[in-house]
Structures are given as structure tokens and as C-alpha cells.
Amino acid sequence: MTTRARTATTPGLRTEHLTSTTPPPGPRLPLAVQTLLFGSFRHRWLPVLRRRHGDVIRLRIYPERSVVEIADVEHIRAIFSGSPSIFHAGEGNMILKPAMGEHSVLLTDEDVHLRARKLLMPAFNGAALRGYRDMITRLADEEAGRWPTGTPFPSHARMQALTLEVILRVVFGVSAGARLDELRRLLSRIVDVGPIDLIGWYNPKLQRFGPWRRYAVAQRRVDELLYAEIAERRRADDLADRNDVLSRLLTVSGEEDRLSDAELRDQLITLLLAGHETTATALAWALHELARDPAQLAAATRAADAGDDRHLEAVAKESMRLHPVISEVARKLTRDIEIGGYRIPAGHTVMPSIALVHGDAGHHPDPREFRPERFLGDGPPTGTWLPFGGGVRRCLGAGFSLLEATIVLRAVLSRYHLAPDRERPEGARPRNITMVPARGARIAVTQRGQTVTG
């Protein structure tokens, strides 16, 4: 029986009146082996497990130990629309706590989360996005103007530098000064971690040695810089005239909404890290794919020349589908549930799989092909494109990310012709909780109208 047929006959989600006692199937490999496979090869391993076990797969990985991957769209929709008191996204994201902090909007649940989300939302609503457009356009044009022509270079690094600059302006309103210069350098170090580095987050003894020690030192220095920026900003007498996130958070009305320095630090570092790394990676993958597909490159170039933002946004969306930057989202259970005919106990983490849904030919025909036109017209079926999660925990910065990606693609494509540095496409490698181009999405660019070489 195929996975698709098996899914069609299984019951949906239950949170009460449970009848099943059957645990989900999954591999029997040791925890250490499963952790290694998930951390470094999940983009290859999970499709194999789905073919073998179906749409509900139990894994044992460090540090959560018991997690359940969910690949069926209806099950995922039920989880996203389920009670936030049962499906704790904050607890599910606890792997990020050492970097983001306990107050982060990504790591809190229920009323505490709603409070943080309410405070941050004004910085990413429609009016705010319109206000960022000129700033992003200017920075994107300046960045593209610095690119070397005719010599291959890693586009991922350039996208990281650009998106970090953009989010620094959004968070702080300024980008000049020795403190922010140092912060730029250290934030680049903070996001550059692999699966082995993550182990050190949960083992204080390891933090005395080698790369774990260097990471801990960098993180402490980032905290010092952020607290210094917060203290200086609290003394400013023009906060009401500023629109950056830090100033907004310092001028909220109501005693219950005022944030402590520790709370401010956690929200700022969350925005700085999550607000640039994922968009940079999605843009790098988009450039990687366009450089290898002359027809799609020509169509995207025409869109850039014509100001067709809808097509450029479709390019960004297809990049996010084909190369999910984050392969799943997590919800930790506060009570037993039943899903797909299997019982999952409280304390387990269910993980709706973005990667498995995006790679499913039943939702996206020829899923390994780069086809931005999927997102023109009616687009893919509802619930089959999930780069920003879903439900009440859908990413606050989704609109910001797509706006930024569209502007950057226009700035690059209106100036350059893209070419790959070699014929074979790049694979993916893990970087913190993301999957990035293994060689940095290397491309070569030439000014439009010139002959492409290399």
C-alpha cells in the first residue's frame, strides 16, 4: 500500500476521547545515530523514512529525544489550528533557547507569547512594510553594485551581509558606530554553527573547550553590546519620533507591556538572527537556481525590467518550496493526542514537516524542478506551502521576508546576467537549524549586455 493510500484511510486528529494505544512507527537506530542522520542528512533521510513508515514517523533525537514527524497536509492543518494550550510551539523551539533567550517570541507560549507578539506586530504590518521599501531598495542597489563581475563568488555570503544590514536598520534605526560594527561581525559568527556546535549549547562542560568556548565568548559579547545599546536608547529623548523596533518597544504604553532589559535583549536577538538568516538563504538558493536555468532566468529578468513584482515574488516562493530553509516546525504536547490512528503522549514533540510536504509530487508535480510559475495563477493547493509555518504561530516576518526578497531580486536581475560557476548543482548542508547551499551558492555575474564567461 502506498503512503498516499494509507493516509487517505487514516483518521485525523483527536485531543480527547482517545481510542488508540498504538505508538507511531519509526526507525530503531540508537539515539546518537538518529541524531546524526537528522542533524546532517534529514533532507535525504526523511523521504526514505516516509516511504517506509508513512506520514507519522517517530524519531529519537537529542535533546528532545522523542519527536514525531508529520507529513500529511490535513494532519498538519489540524495541528496548526489546534489549541495553543495543547500544542506548545515555544516549548517545541527550546533548542533555540541558548541563543534566543527564554523571553523570545519564538520560545514562549499562550498569554506570554501573545503579549510579545502584540508588541512586535506593528513593526511588520502593512504600513511598516511600505515604510521599509525605499530603505531596502537603496541597500540592495548598493550591495549589488559591489559585486565582482566575471569571477565566481558565494552569493550566500553576500545575501547574508545585505539582509543583516536591512534587519539592523529595522531593529535599531541606524547602522553606524563601533558598537554596531562589532555586532555585525559577531552575529555572523553566532549564526555559523553546525550540528556539533549545537550539542555544546546543552553541555556547559563543553563550553570550556575549542569551538564551543569561542561561541560562548562571542555570545556573551553580543549580549554586552545589546545591553549597552538598550541602556543608551533608554536615555534618548526622541524615542517618540523613531520608528525602529527598539524605540517602539521602549515607548509602549501600559505597565503590563513594558519590557525589562532581559526581555528586550531576547526579542532583539531573535529579530536579528531569525530576521536575516532565513531570507538570505532563500535568496541564495533562488540565485543558484536562476543561474542554472536560462529560461527561468530570462523570465525573471523580464519581470525585473517590467517591475513585475508578482513574478519575482513567485521566484522567491519557489526557492522556499524547493529548498526549505527550515525543514519542520515543532509543537510540544501538553496532553496525549491521537493522529493518523497513532497515540502520541504528552511531552512528545510533533513536527509538521515542511520539507516532506514541499517535496510531495501529489501537491507539487515534478517537485524537484524549479518552476516559479507554480505560484502564478491560483498557486499550489492551500496548506501545501509552509515556509513560514501556520496558524497563530505563523512567522511575524513573512510579509517582510517576501518584500525584501522581491526587492533584492529586482536589484540583482536588472543589473546582471547570472551564470553558475560549474554545471553540477550544489547540495545542502546544515547550518544551525537551517539547510544552506553547501558551497555558498556560487555564481558568476556579468553586466547586462556583456558576454557571459566562465
pLDDT score at 255: 75
Q: Does the pLDDT value for residue 433 go beyond 50?
A: yes
pLDDT number for residue 201? 66
Output DSSP code: residue 256: G
Query: Across all residues in the chain, what is the average pLDDT?
Result: 91
**pLDDT-based confidence at 224, cuts 50/70/90?**
very high
What is the spatial distance between Cα 435 and Cα 448, in angstroms, rounded to a whole number? 31
Q: How far apart are CA 124 and CA 394, in angstroms?
A: 13
Alpha helices (runs of H) in 25-109, residue ranges in sequence order: 31-53, 73-80, 89-92, 97-100
pLDDT at residue 240, rounded to an integer: 87
Q: Could you give the CA distance from residue 51 to residue 61 in angstroms, rounded to a whole number?
A: 20
CA-CA-CA-CA torsion sign (38, 42, 44, 50) = positive
pLDDT over 90 (residue 171) = yes
Q: Whole-model pTM?
A: 0.91
The dihedral sign for the CA sequence 306, 307, 309, 310: negative
Q: How many CB atoms lie within 10 A of CB 148?
A: 10
Which residue in 222, 217, 212 sits closest to 182, CA to CA?
222
Q: Check residue 432 and give its pLDDT.
A: 76
Amino acid 7: pLDDT: 40
CA angle 206, 207, 213 (to 5 degrees): 125
- At 377 the pLDDT is 87
Q: pLDDT digit string (tens) for 325-356?
A: 999 999 999 999 999 999 999 999 999 999 99
342: which strand partners? 339
Q: Give residue 194's Cα distance to chain centre.
A: 15
Q: Are 190 and 219 in contact (CB under 8 A)?
A: yes
First-to-last alpha carbon distance for the chain, in angstroms, is 49
For the chain, list the domains and their CATH numbers.
Answer: 3-447 (1.10.630.10)
Question: Distance (Å, rounded) from C-alpha 331 to C-alpha 349?
Answer: 5
Q: What average pLDDT does this structure show over 150-179?
A: 92
Residues 6+ apart with CB under 8 A from 220: none
Q: Which residue has the cell 502593512?
A: 126
Q: Tens of pLDDT along 366-411?
A: 999 999 999 998 889 999 999 999 999 999 999 999 999 999 999 9
Tell me: cis bond preceding 430? Omega within 30 of 0 counts: no
Q: Is the pLDDT of residue 1 over 80?
A: no
Question: How many CB atoms are closer than 10 A to CB 429?
Answer: 17
pLDDT at position 210 over 80: no
pLDDT band at 199 (very low <50, low <70, confident <90, very high): low
pLDDT surpasses 70 at 95: yes
DSSP class of residue 423?
Answer: S
Q: What is the mean pLDDT of residues 245-270?
A: 90
Lowest mean pLDDT among 6-15, 185-194, 409-418: 6-15
What does 100-132 look like in DSSP terms, one character per residue? H-TT-TTT--HHHHHHHHHHHGGGGSHHHHHHH
Query: Of residues 328 and 240, which shows the higher confidence score?
Result: 328
**Any residues with CB less than 8 A from the CB of 165 and at least 6 apart, and which?**
139, 143, 175, 184
| Percentage with pLDDT > 90 across the chain | 75
417 pLDDT band, cuts 50/70/90, is very high
